[in-house]
Amino acid sequence: MNEDVAAREIAREQEFVDTVYRQLEESTRSAQELAAEGRARGQLGHEGGLVERDAMVYQAARRMATLDAAHEGLVFGRLDMRAEIDEDPRYVGRIGLRDGNRDVLLIDWRAPAAAVFYQATHADPHGVIRRRILRCSGETVVGVEDDLLDSEAETDLPVVGEGALMAQLSRARDRSMHSIVATIQAEQDRAIRAPNKGVVLISGGPGTGKTVVALHRAAFLLYADRRRYETGGVLVVGPSGVFMRYIERVLPSLGETAVALRSLGDVVDGLRATRRDDPRVAEVKGSAVMAELLRRTARQHVPGSPREFRIFYRDDVIVLGTRDLAQARRQLLSMGPRNRSTTRVASTLIDLMWRQVRSERARERTKEDFAEEMRTNDAFLDFASSWWPVLDAATVLGWLRDTDLLARVADGVLDDEAVRLLAKSWGEDLSVDDVPLVDELRYLLGDPPLVNDADEDPLDLADSSLQELTTAADREYAGHRAWSPPTNRIEDDGYAHVLIDEAQDLTPMQWRMVGRRGRTATWTIVGDPAQSSWPVPAESERARAQALGDKPVHSFHLSTNYRNSAEIYRFAAAYAERVGLDADLPNAVRSTGVEPREVVDPDLEAATRRALGELVGALEGTVGIVVPVARRAEANRWLASWPEFAELARGDDARVVVLTGLDTKGLEFDGILVVEPAEIEAESPAGRATLYVVYTRATQQMVTVSAHS
C-alpha cells in the first residue's frame, strides 16, 4: 500500500472529523441560544431538556478531547458494511452525536449498534467488510489502521496500516492508564457488555486487560441505565491510592464522572488510610475471626465510665450498683445496636430505680412523677450519658490498645502470638487494615437515631461524633460522585453497583466491608488468584461468598496477555511453574526479541545503577525499581545520590520510581529493575505470588540484580 493512498484516506477521514467538531460547535451555539431564550422566558420546557443535553455532550467531548488527546480522539472507529446492510459508513466515537436533522452522525461505543465494531472477526465478520481505527491528535487525524474482515466481499475499499492493536501495545507507558476503547477485543467486549444481573466475575492471568475491561464495563453500565447508577452510585475499589490514581483518568475519558473511585483504605466514607501494616499483622487484622473479637469489644463497658449511681429521692437513697447496671446493660444490648439504644437508656434505668422506691413519702408519687423528675435531673442525665454514651467506632477500636481488654476479648479467638502482634500494631493513625475493623464496629454499634425519629427522650444524643469524621479532605473524590454527598450513616452506605479490582487480595474483613456496600447491588469482580498476597485463600473465598449472598454469578475468562512482551512473560510463567503457583497462564502476543537479564554482582548499588542507566537509555517511558520492603529507604537514598537520574526521578510524573513488591499491584512500566528478588520472595508468606506479580509488570524490558547467585 503506497503512502499516497494512506494520505488520501487520512484526508478523507479528516473531512468527517471536521464535520463532527463543526456539529459540536453548532450544537453548543444553538444550546446556548436556546438556553438564553428559555431563561428570558423564565422556563425551560421540552426544548430546554434538549438544550441541556447538547450542552452536556459538548462539555463531555471537550474534556475527553483534552484528556486523551495523544491517543484516541472523539471519533475513533469506522465500519464499512456489506451494501445490503448499510450503504453508508458507520462511525463510532466516545459519545453519540446527531446532525442538524437529528440523524446519527456518531454512534456511542456503548450503544448496541456499536457492538459489532468489537465483535466482528475474520471468522465471523457480522456483515462488516472493513473495520478502520482512526488515530487522532486533538482534532487532527494522524493515522488510520484497517482490518479487512470479509475477504470474500467484493470491494474496492483500500486497506491501510499495520494493525492498531500492536501500535497501541507498543507505545511507551506514562504514569497513567489509558482507555482501550478503540481496540477492545472480542472476548473483552463480551465481559464489558455482559447483562447486568447478579455478579459478573472476570478472571484471567496478568496483563489480560481485567482492569481496563472492568472500567469500560462501569462506563457501559452507566450508559445502559444512567438513571439507576447515577442515583444509586457505582463504587470502584482498587488495592491502593497509587493504583486508583493510575486508573483514574480512564473513566472521565470515556465520558463518565459519576463513579466513586476508592482504594481499600478509603472505602468507608470519612476515613482515609494509606499506611500498611507488616504482613503478619495484616494477616491477623484481615482474618474473619476478628469479627467475633470486635463483637465482644462492642459489648464492653466504656472504659472509665461510672460503675455506680446514687440519688436521694424523697426519703429513699436509690443506688444503681454493679448488679443493676449489669442487668440494664444486658437489657439494652438485647435491644439491638448500642447507639440505637441511646433513647432507651433513661427509661431502662428509671425502671430499675423505681423498684427501689419504698418510703411512704415517695410512694405518694406515681412512677410517671418519678420519671419526670429524673429526666430533668442533671446528675442523673450526666450519669446516664457517660455510662451509655454514643460511641464512635474508631474510639472503640482504640479500646484495644488496653492489653487487658484485648486479652479478654481475644480469649479463645486469637492465639498468644496474634494477640502480641495486634497489641504492638496500633499506630497514631489508622492503617489500611484497620479500616474494615472500624467499619465492622460501626455496624455493631449502629448509628444513633436521628433527631426526628427519636422520641422525646432528653438522652437522645443524636449529634453523633461520627459526623465529625467527614472533612473536606475526606472527599477528595467527591467530584466523581454525582449523587448526594456522604452522610456517614449506615443506611446511606449502599451502592447500585460495586466493582472490585484485584479482588484476589481482599482479606475476609475487607470482603465484609465491601459486602455491606453491595447488599442490593449488582457486582463486577475481577482478579487472578495466582497473584494473591493473602495467605489463606479458602477463608477469603468464604467471605466473598458471604458478601455476594445468593446472587447468580456469570464468569468470563480473558486469555491474552497484552502487557508483557512474550520474552518477559515466558520468564514469569517459568517462575510461577517452578515455585508451584497454580497460575492461569495467558498467551503473550507481542515479541520484542529482548530477553530478561539476571545480573549477579556483590556490589549491589553499582550494579543497580548500571542497569538503571541501560534501561532508561533503551526505553522511552517509565522504569520501576522494585525492592524488598527492608531496602526501600536505602534504594531511595541511592537514587537521590545518582545525579544522572535526578531529573528523571522528580515530581508526580517521574519516569523512574522505587516501589516495593506489593506497591506494583495492578501497575505497569516499560522497564522493571528487580533488586534482590529472593528477598522479595522471602519477606512474606505470599512472597512467591508477589514476586510473580513483579515479574509481570514490564512491557518491554526487565533486569534482576542480586548480590549472590
Residue number, 272 or 563, with CB nearest to ligand ATP: 563
Tell which one of 73, 161, 204, 446 touches ligand ATP (CB under 6 A).
Answer: 204
Q: What is the identity of the amino acid at 455?
A: D
From 110-118, 162-170, 411-419, 678-686, give the range in contact with ligand ATP by CB under 6 A.
Answer: 162-170
Cβ burial, residue 391 (10 Å; 0-12/13-18/19+): buried
In this structure, how many other beta carbons lie within 10 angstroms of the beta carbon of residue 426?
Answer: 17
Size of interface with ligand ATP, in residues (CB under 6 A) = 23
Distance of CA 32 to CAs 55, 58, 64, Å? 8, 11, 20
567 binds ligand ATP (CB under 6 A): no
Residue number, 422 or 558, with CB nearest to ligand ATP: 558
Tell which one of 119, 188, 343, 690 touches ligand ATP (CB under 6 A).
Answer: 188
Nearest residue to 303 via CA among 399, 163, 192 = 399
Q: Where are the alpha helices (DSSP H) in 479-619?
A: 508-516, 537-548, 566-578, 604-618
Residue number, 270 or 586, with CB nearest to ligand ATP: 586
Tell which one of 51, 184, 509, 698 touches ligand ATP (CB under 6 A).
Answer: 184
From 176-184, 218-226, 322-330, 628-636, give the range in contact with ligand ATP by CB under 6 A.
Answer: 176-184
The 104-108 sheet, strands edge to edge? 97-98, 104-108, 90-93, 75-81, 128-137, 140-148
Rounded CA gap, 84 and 132, in Å?
19
Strands 656-660 and 97-98: unpaired
From 10-18, 184-192, 335-343, 669-677, give the range in contact with ligand ATP by CB under 6 A.
Answer: 184-192
From 10-18, 63-71, 202-210, 509-517, give the range in contact with ligand ATP by CB under 6 A.
Answer: 202-210
Radius of gyration of the chain (CA): 31
Cβ burial, residue 162 (10 Å; 0-12/13-18/19+): exposed
696 binds ligand ATP (CB under 6 A): yes
CA angle, residues 165, 211, 287, in degrees to nearest 5: 155
CB of 208 to ligand ATP, least distance (A): 4
212 binds ligand ATP (CB under 6 A): yes
CB of 169 to ligand ATP, least distance (A): 6
Cell of 281: 499483622
Residue number, 179 or 343, with CB nearest to ligand ATP: 179
- Whether residue 441 contacts residue 397, with contact meaning beta carbons closer than 8 Å, is answered with yes
Strands 623-627 and 234-238: unpaired
CB of 172 to ligand ATP, least distance (A): 11
Rounded CA gap, 328 and 460, in Å?
17
CB of 611 to ligand ATP, least distance (A): 23
From 209-217, 439-447, 486-494, 669-677, give the range in contact with ligand ATP by CB under 6 A.
Answer: 209-217
191 binds ligand ATP (CB under 6 A): no
Q: What is the 3-state secondary structure (H, E, C) of 111-167?
A: CHHHHHHHHCCCCCCCCEEEEEEEEEECCEEEEEEEEECCCCCCCCCCCCCCCHHHH
204 is in an annotated binding site: yes
Q: What is the identity of the amino acid at 448?
A: P
Rounded CA gap, 91 and 117, in Å?
9
Residue number, 185 or 431, with CB nearest to ligand ATP: 185
Distance of CA 568 to CAs 165, 533, 561, 571, 692, Å? 19, 21, 11, 5, 11
Q: Which residue is nearest to ligand ATP (CB)?
A: 209
Rounded CA gap, 448 and 489, in Å?
9
List residues bridging with 128 in a β-sheet: 81
Residue number, 522 or 564, with CB nearest to ligand ATP: 564
Residue number, 460 or 501, with CB nearest to ligand ATP: 501
From 75-83, 119-127, 164-172, 289-297, give the range in contact with ligand ATP by CB under 6 A.
Answer: 164-172
Residue 656 half-sphere exposure, CB side, CA atoms within 13 Å?
A: 26
264 binds ligand ATP (CB under 6 A): no
- Which residue shows C-alpha cell 469500560? 216
217 binds ligand ATP (CB under 6 A): no
Tell which one of 10, 69, 169, 482 touches ligand ATP (CB under 6 A).
Answer: 169
Q: Where are the alpha helices (DSSP H) in 161-278?
A: 164-170, 186-192, 210-224, 226-232, 241-247, 250-253
CB of 678 to ligand ATP, least distance (A): 22
CB of 475 to ligand ATP, least distance (A): 27
From 75-83, 163-171, 331-339, 508-516, give the range in contact with ligand ATP by CB under 6 A.
Answer: 163-171
Tell which one of 77, 161, 207, 436 touches ligand ATP (CB under 6 A).
Answer: 207
209 binds ligand ATP (CB under 6 A): yes
207 is in an annotated binding site: yes
163 is in an annotated binding site: no
CB of 76 to ligand ATP, least distance (A): 12
- Over the window 510 to 549, marking each residue x when it contacts ligand ATP by CB under 6 A and - when it does not, the resulting string is ------------------x--x------------------
237 binds ligand ATP (CB under 6 A): no
248 binds ligand ATP (CB under 6 A): no
470 is in an annotated binding site: no
Question: 627 to 686, contacts with ligand ATP by CB under 6 A?
Answer: 666, 668
661 is in an annotated binding site: no
Residue number, 75 or 421, with CB nearest to ligand ATP: 75
Residue number, 384 or 698, with CB nearest to ligand ATP: 698
206 is in an annotated binding site: yes
Tell which one of 27, 119, 183, 608 touches ligand ATP (CB under 6 A).
Answer: 183
Tell which one of 96, 206, 233, 628 touches ligand ATP (CB under 6 A).
Answer: 206
Distance of CA 327 to CAs 97, 219, 321, 399, Å? 69, 54, 10, 23
- Which residue shows C-alpha cell 522494585? 626
Strands 597-600 and 698-706: parallel
Distance of CA 571 to CAs 483, 577, 701, Å? 47, 10, 11
180 binds ligand ATP (CB under 6 A): yes
Tell which one of 387, 562, 638, 669 touches ligand ATP (CB under 6 A).
Answer: 562
In this structure, how many other beta carbons lie within 10 angstroms of the beta carbon of residue 627?
Answer: 27
In this structure, how many other beta carbons lie within 10 angstroms of the beta carbon of residue 296?
Answer: 16
Annotated binding site for ATP: 204-211
- What does the binding site for ligand ATP look like in residue numbers (CB under 6 A)? 165, 168-169, 180, 183-185, 188, 204, 206-212, 528, 531, 562-563, 666, 668, 696
Annotated binding site: 204-211
